[in-house]
């Protein structure tokens, strides 16, 4: 690429299959013809003459001018993820929460209204429930699994629906097609946080969603190395989003963009292997006497198994389960199990190659009061397990020995 070129969007032909696109889409080579994508660790760009600089600013977007706006390594990550998701545009951010905040707030003003389910990642709930009202935006929270409550909430005008499906941590599933249809009839755009389903197993845009957001920190990196986020949308919404990002500056570091770009090359394989193991672990937990309940979208016992089968092509890498109260309280039993594990690590991250377990009531969802916890199904004995790349048999043995001690 020469300096005066329009940076190409290197989207491979549409007939290439997703796994092939994940290896090649978005690649831009420098004059050195490197195989592996380069890290452009630069904040700015130079111009040969003052006239060139003037022209670069006049032809907005045709040249890299500042890495808060655009950067070649970040652009490669954005183009690769857009090609996989089937979205017209992708904007990378420094974290998943930066992506959620920008996607939600760039389009709202005082007097607008958000509808969202109670069952959301803690920080997502904070944005819609506490921050948005500070700006004069009203938020209506519903039970995300109740068609009745969605219908009622969207029977009057709304501007935005924000949802997660499956939800963090208790894997509630929202009927994407139903909610998108109701939202559009009410005049609202739909933003789906697709972290738990992953881009491998669920395409919210195909069910009518307008915008998809990711914490790239999770399965896209997949190896617990860096934070990142992404917003996927069409060209029309990009006109609203791009200036918001440019002027508020939640830019992704080029180094992190490179980690995420390389993460995309193996995401499909990693997530498939983790999901295969998750299915076996979920089946083991479901049949164990000390487990009161196991939730996994691809277990027939999941309350929304049929819906999950309709909109997800796999169960995903996360399992939620309740340890039975053995007379000393659910929390004590859950803590004994966690403390007895040898391979599975205690950590509130997820989507990692290492299996990670967390106790939502005292970690990710500690700030919720008891009624709020109950509303999203978090009990004192609830645990969330993110299944990694270890051999499923070792994970099952680890859980078995820890449960024997619990
Ligand atoms: C982790 C997570 C986020 C936030 O992402 P960060 O990269 O940690 O900022 C948002 N939504 C869901 C569902 C998550 O799991």
pLDDT, the chain, mean: 94
What is the model's pLDDT at position 11? 58
Which one, of 401, 166, 206, 192, lies nearest residue 284 by Cα?
Answer: 401
Which CATH class name applies to 15-263? Answer: alpha beta
Give the distance (Å) from ligand 1 centre to CA of residue 400: 30
- Strand, coil or helix: 91: strand
What is the model's pLDDT at position 385? 98
| pLDDT at residue 151 tops 60 | yes
Q: Which residues contact 4 (CB under 8 A, 6 or more apart)?
A: 63
Beta bridge partners of 229: 93, 215
Give the distance (Å) from ligand 1 centre to CA of residue 119: 14
Q: Are 301 and 286 in contact (CB under 8 A)?
A: yes
pLDDT tens sequence across 24-52: 999 999 999 999 999 999 999 999 999 99
Q: What atom in ligand 1 is closest to the CA of residue 218? A: 1
Give the distance (Å) from ligand 1 centre to CA of residue 288: 30
Cα distance between residue 232 and residue 228, in whole Å: 14
pLDDT tens sequence across 307-324: 999 999 999 999 999 999
Residue-range domain boundaries for the chain: 15-263, 268-405
Task: Check pocket membership of 386 for ligand 1, CB cut-off 6 A.
Answer: no
Cα distance between residue 181 and residue 122, in whole Å: 26
Task: Check pocket membership of 217 for ligand 1, CB cut-off 6 A.
Answer: yes
Q: pTM to 2 decimals?
A: 0.95
Q: What's the token pair of residue 401? A: 């020995």
Give the distance (Å) from ligand 1 centre to CA of residue 156: 30
Indicate the fold that domain 268-405 takes in CATH.
Answer: 3.90.1150
Q: What atom in ligand 1 is closest to the CA of residue 100? A: 10
Cα distance between residue 210 and residue 191, in whole Å: 6
Query: 7 versus 249: which is more confidently predicted?
Result: 249
Query: 361 versus 12: which is more confidently predicted?
Result: 361
Cα distance between residue 277 and residue 298, in whole Å: 12
Please state at what angle helix 96-105 crosses helix 235-248, rounded to 10 degrees.
110
Pocket test for ligand 1, best of 94, 97, 211 (most atoms within 8 A of CB): 97
For residues 66-94, give the mean pLDDT.
96
Tokens 């830019």 sit on residue? 251
Cα distance between residue 6 and residue 64, in whole Å: 9
Task: Check pocket membership of 97 for ligand 1, CB cut-off 6 A.
Answer: yes
Give the distance (Å) from ligand 1 centre to CA of residue 6: 33
Task: Check pocket membership of 229 for ligand 1, CB cut-off 6 A.
Answer: yes
């Amino acid at each position: 690429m020469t300096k005066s070129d329009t940076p190409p969007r290197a989207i491979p032909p549409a007939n290439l299959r997703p796994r092939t696109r994940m290896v090649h889409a978005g690649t831009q080579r420098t004059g050195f013809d490197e195989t592996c994508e380069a890290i452009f660790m630069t904040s700015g760009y130079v111009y040969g003459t003052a006239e060139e600089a003037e022209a670069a600013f006049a032809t907005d977007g045709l040249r890299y001018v500042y890495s808060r706006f655009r950067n070649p390594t970040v652009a490669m990550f954005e183009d690769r993820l857009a090609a996989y998701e089937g979205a017209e545009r992708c904007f990378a951010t420094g974290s998943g929460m930066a992506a959620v905040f920008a996607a939600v707030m760039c389009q709202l003003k005082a007097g607008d209204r958000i509808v969202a389910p109670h069952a959301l990642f803690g920080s997502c709930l904070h944005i819609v429930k506490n921050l948005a009202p500070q700006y004069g935006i009203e938020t209506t929270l519903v039970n995300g699994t109740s068609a009745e409550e969605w219908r009622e909430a969207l029977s009057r005008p709304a501007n935005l629906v924000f949802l997660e499906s499956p939800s963090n941590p208790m894997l509630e599933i929202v009927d994407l097609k139903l909610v998108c249809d109701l939202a559009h009839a009410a005049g609202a755009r739909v933003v789906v946080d697709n972290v738990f389903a992953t881009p491998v197993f669920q395409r919210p845009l195909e069910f009518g969603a307008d915008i998809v957001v990711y914490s790239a920190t999770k399965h896209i990196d997949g190896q617990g190395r860096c934070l990142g986020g992404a917003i996927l949308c069409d060209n029309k919404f990009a006109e609203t989003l791009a200036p918001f990002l440019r002027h508020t500056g939640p830019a992704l570091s080029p180094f992190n963009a490179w980690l995420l770009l390389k993460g995309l090359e193996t995401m499909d394989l990693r997530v498939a292997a983790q999901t295969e193991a998750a299915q076996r672990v979920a089946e083991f937990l479901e049949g164990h006497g000390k487990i009161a309940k196991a939730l996994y979208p691809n277990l027939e016992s999941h309350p929304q198994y049929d819906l999950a089968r309709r909109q997800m092509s796999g169960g995903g890498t996360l399992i939620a389960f309740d340890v039975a109260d053995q007379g000393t309280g659910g929390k004590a039993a859950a803590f004994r199990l966690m403390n007895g594990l040898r391979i599975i690590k205690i950590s509130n991250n997820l989507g990692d190659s290492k299996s990670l377990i967390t106790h939502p009531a005292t970690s990710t969802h500690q700030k919720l009061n008891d009624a709020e916890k109950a509303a999203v199904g978090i009990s004192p004995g609830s645990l969330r397990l993110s299944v990694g790349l270890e051999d499923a048999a070792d994970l099952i043995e680890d859980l078995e020995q820890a449960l024997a001690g619990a």
